Chains A and B, each alone.
Chain A
Amino acid sequence: MSLDMLQTKTLLSVRDLTVTLTTEGCDVLRGVSFDLAPRQILSVIGESGSGKTVLARALASWLSEPLEITGGEILFEGRNLVEDPAFARHLGGREIAYVGGNPAGALDPTMTVGAQLVEKLRAVRPEISTQEARRKAIRLLEAVKIPAAERRFHEYPFQYSGGMMQRAMIVDALMSDPALLIADNITQPLDVTVAAQILKLMRDLNKDFSTAILFICSSLPVACDAADEVMVLHGGRVVERQVPSGLIASPEHAYTRTLIEELPTLWTGTRESAPPPSRDQQAIMSVRGVAKHYETRGASGKAQVQAVRNVEFDVFPGDNFGIVGESGCGKSSLMRLLTGLERPDAGTIFFEDENIGQASPKRLRALRRRFQLVLQDPYGSLPPQSPIGAIIEEPLKIHGLGNRAERRDRARAAMSEVGLNVASYDSLPTGLSAGQRQRLNVARAMVLEPRLLIMDETLSALDQTEQGKMLNLFERLQAQHGFTYIFISHDLTMVRQVCSRIAVMYLGETVEVAPNERLFFDPGHPYTRALLSAAPTLEKRRYLPEECLLEGEPPSPIDLPPGCAFAGRCPHAFDRCLSETPRLQTRNAQALAACHLIDGGVAQ
């Protein structure tokens, strides 16, 4: 057989595959057909409920009750896996490898990662010696860029970060040199910079190990980035399949068209974001040199976690202020400080004229009338047993405002303002959708007529369409009540759409504070550029990941090295970065960044 023939032969051929949810009698996949050539990367994209995960599991022979294949064929190298479940199971972990979206729980917590990699290879290829398996594992760990692979081989899963664990799971899948790798939502739980690294890694591996990849995901930009071709799944059917450029340029199916249209953009045609308010007025919230550390017990006794350091910014009345950063950057700790749930170890947080960090508990309670927190999780933050009206009235009761009738009126007014049906005043929140729950949270926060609303990942749990509606609502409320917002988020696209000014956090510090346009088009800090380069988008990239993003993950906030915290991942790092910690400095009137490059980079 010539090489040519090998390449044109199909590896996987799915014909009319139908999977039924037997308890309901409804089909989750309806007649799905597609071919996958060896070495090809095919993205499968679809919203939740489109059947993409079911497809992944069907191919990995991992369907469990009550899901069942009720029709069609899965031909792997010509053999029908549906008719030969024993052969299908035999392929699992050998020729067909699967990597899921939850790396955290994927390995036995009581065994070292290395031992489990060896165990897996020896399970499917007993003829390979332990020594050899070990060498292979370490080689692959190096190939997926796990630093100090020899040492990491002997570490336990809980000592790995999420991104490293996902790399380890990819190694696990590749141990047996599979012909097909099913990657089911593997970048979902990861931060953008880490996800971008994993995507790049996957493409490299595809080249080096000639593995065909079925890449399943729910984000169109990621899917287009990752694959040779993109297949769109909608309602259990394949509605379209094209190369990425073709799909973006001329989507054929209506669903794909709406998907592309609704996708928020970073660089072009964004919503008209409000210009930053005038800075002549007094800041509504002013944060200076705030720091907070926690004690933990580490490997060698007590250790300090520097959760928040050197945070500085001002928020002006009418502002939409954004705070962005990846997980572990200290956003949540900062939120707790801003709302007075915890007190800073150093620095001041002025809300209007009062220092929240030092206000008495009684004073703080009074102040809370004027700044309110809207929480992230729409399911955890509502008491399930109280009716909607009572939930909204509760803050009024706590602050002793109005009599019963007045409270009722205000609650109803708030409900209609956020777009909740006033008739549901007496019903329980259990029947509400995620979006409605978020509206209820907003209503509860705004009945007190606060001046400042702090939104902690408020929109993260909502889908694109619902997010858009909520943003419109926020805008309307702002126009009517003159609210000032602080949005705490990991989502650059969301921040790009609504915020007038944005602070970027890295390892507990504000490394850059700038107006929206300026931050996106002329970032002053290399980390901001890395973040922007990694953000998934269909547009032409302004910043190339290859130039802006180095390997690696943020160092642990315990025992921080001296100098710039980003130095280890910064493409521009030079000597001074390792010895001297950069402070926020002005780049011009409105933009600040903490990087030595700004003042020319020379030692002082």
Chain B
Amino acid sequence: MSKERIKISPDLYDIMPSDYQDLVQSATYGKEDRGWKDIGTSKELIEQHSLCAGCPESMAFRYILASLPNPEDTVMVGSTGCTSLVFPMVAVHNIHSLFGNQNAIASGLKRALSVRFPDRVKDVVVLAGDGATVDIGLDMTLQAWFRQEKFTTICFDNELYANTGGQESGLMQKGFVAKMAPVGKLFDKVRLPEIARESGCHYVVNCTVSKPSLVEKVIRNSVLIAREIGPTYIQLYTPCILEIGKNSMEGLQEMRDSEKPTERFAYKEYVSEPAKQFLAELAAKDKERKAAAKQLAGKA
């Protein structure tokens, strides 16, 4: 893990746009304790986006990118939707898949990467909207979990098809009326976290992106567990402020309101037994590392 992987040819360095020079000089690639606190102080792995102003997806994107344990060796797989507007600005390898196919593409990709790079850790992370994950791509989502494919699936749940103007999605709440779903949803929000657990996911979290430290911990765990044990699923509430009639500044409050204990995005977590053991080992190693660092600092 290091910036060695992204060196600019010295003879052409001066002609590279400054964005790329900054990226190889001060991005957090290779930094062991990288996290959301690096946002704004070192070169971000996403600086611009073309989402609506204040869209919580943009916060979610930043926290996720800042939390990937291994960004230079990570390939993200996206799908059509508002998320796909951001991927061209992301300094992590990414593939845009046909709408709904993301988990099938990621399955093949993960397997191919482990054959092609047997000695290198390569993480695959799917990031798609609720329409792509739960409706049109449900088959691919579930089959990847049944097969125990070792990658993380992140769903940006904004409870509708935002990019096409507000159609009903499986993750929409019952009774909700959207611009292009005037009748109101007739059935309940699909319980995908529970389905994920029953389908073999080893780590499942349902939450909002109001707390960056929490998102950081969840993303890190999910990627590391997927790498070592099996599929993981993270469902993040990223409200479409445009569709629910909120202003740019109101996304955060909307998330806070929706994560109260009785609300649909109250923090929910499932960890399988092997994953629990893995996390415990990880925590012990982390403690050891920190103690050693402290000792070293004391000696110095």
Do the two chains bind? no
Measuring CB to CB, which residues of chain B are less than 8 angstroms from any residue of chain A? none
Measuring CB to CB, which residues of chain A are less than 8 angstroms from any residue of chain B? none
